[in-house]
Chain A
Amino acid sequence: MKRILPFIIILLVLGVALGSAWYLKRSTTDVHRVSSNSLPGPSPNSQNSNPATAGVGGAEPAHTQGPANAPVHLEEFGDFECPPCGLLHPILVQMKQEFGDRLQITFREFPLVPTHQHAVAAASSAEAAGLQGKFWEMHDMLYENQKEWHEAFDVRPIFEGYAKKIGLDVERFKTDVNSEPVAQRIFLDGKRGHSLGVKGTPTVFLNGREVPFESLPADKLRVLIKELTGTK
């Protein structure tokens, strides 16, 4: 018995390790799992399909694209300086083009401090542009030119340049960037993110359920949205 006991212990530990790994993997993907069975979809019985039903409310009015009665609500918590968020941006643009009025996209600020030194400045610029009704224009400008400003020492002149390019009142923009309403919006979006358990960016929710990062490539995200819209 003494000769085989160590092998029993080793096999036991191997079993526990594999079991824990399987459980961890399953719980990571299950918490976020998105399928037509688990998500509130477009069926008449699912009246609470809006993602805002979970967690504390973020900044109001939220920055959205698409109609409020769309069957699919996609809520992104993003950081303009985060490279994976920059990679997600064209995918979401593509989804918006493909699904049109069947998809509503909401953007929430989640600047990661101190990971990204210009994240708050970028979020403030987008929110300041929002005060002049051009949030999405600045949002696109920041993501599309992320590499340009990411490593800059002083981003203010760059962002002011973007403001000019998208037709903002630059003097007002300069004042708004440091204003209380802008800071308040970023704070409220962050608070909502924390209440939903957001720990990193990009974090995407489809009809209130978190989408695992591995499902964010265009082909996988398209399948998930199609399931929710009920199209094949």
Chain B
Amino acid sequence: MKSAGATAASDRSGKRANLLFVLIAILSLCGLADALYLTIEHITGESVKCTIIHGCSEVLSSPYAVIGGFPLASIGALAYFAVFSLAILKLFDYRIAGQLLLPLVGLMCLVSLWLIYLQAFVIHAFCQFCLLSAGITFTLMALVFVAHWRGGVKK
């Protein structure tokens, strides 16, 4: 039988882990909004225009902005939606969801690093919306990593 102190400590730890997944869900929604905006800009052709904000049109009209005929941003939107879904499922005690988050967000991080490399060394222009997405992904990675480190995904 657990002592009252141990139960209270376990509750606190569970609440902290839950808070992490709430943050992950909120951040993934921000990423989803960013990626959806970029997708619509791509579909309507607005991103191909030259704009006062230097960089976005150069990056979004480059061949790297499309993969297999799909705008890269739309794949990003799907990835953020998957992260959101997994975080919500984890909050409702679907253990497997928490375990899937690490490889998914890890993969998104690698893609973000590749995209930053492309912007810096190949396209020679930076798109703020793409950098925002990368920032969100790196923050997600940190949160997921903390959740794993604290054992939140196994509970």
Contacts and interface: CB of A to CB of B under 8 A. Distances in A.
B65 interface: no
B36 A201 contact: no
Interface in B66-89: 77, 81, 84-85, 88-89
Interface stretch (B51-59, B108-116, B129-137, B138-146): B51-59
A6 B43 contact: no
Interface string A58-92: 00000000000000000000010011110000000
A103 B81 CA distance: 47
B50 A83 contact: yes
A219 B89 CA distance: 49
A6 B54 contact: no
B40 A200 contact: no
Interface string A6-47: 100110011001001100110011000000000000000000
A115 interface: yes
Nearest to B85: A10
A14 B81 contact: yes
A25 B94 contact: no
Contact of A3 (B48, B51, B92): B92
A83 B40 CA distance: 22
Contact of A213 (B37, B44, B54, B77): B44
A67 to B, nearest CB: 29
Contacts of A200: 46, 49-52, 57
A84 B51 CA distance: 11
Interface string A186-229: 00000000000001111100000000111010000000000000
Q: Which 7 A-B pairs have the closest CB atoms?
A: A200-B49, A82-B50, A200-B51, A214-B45, A213-B45, A6-B92, A115-B54
5 contacts: A20-B33, A24-B36, A115-B51, A201-B51, A213-B49
Interface of A: 2-3, 5-6, 9-10, 13-14, 17, 20-21, 24-25, 28-29, 79, 82-85, 112-116, 199-203, 212-214, 216
Interface of B: 29, 32-33, 36-37, 39-40, 43-46, 48-54, 57, 77, 81, 84-85, 88-89, 91-92, 94
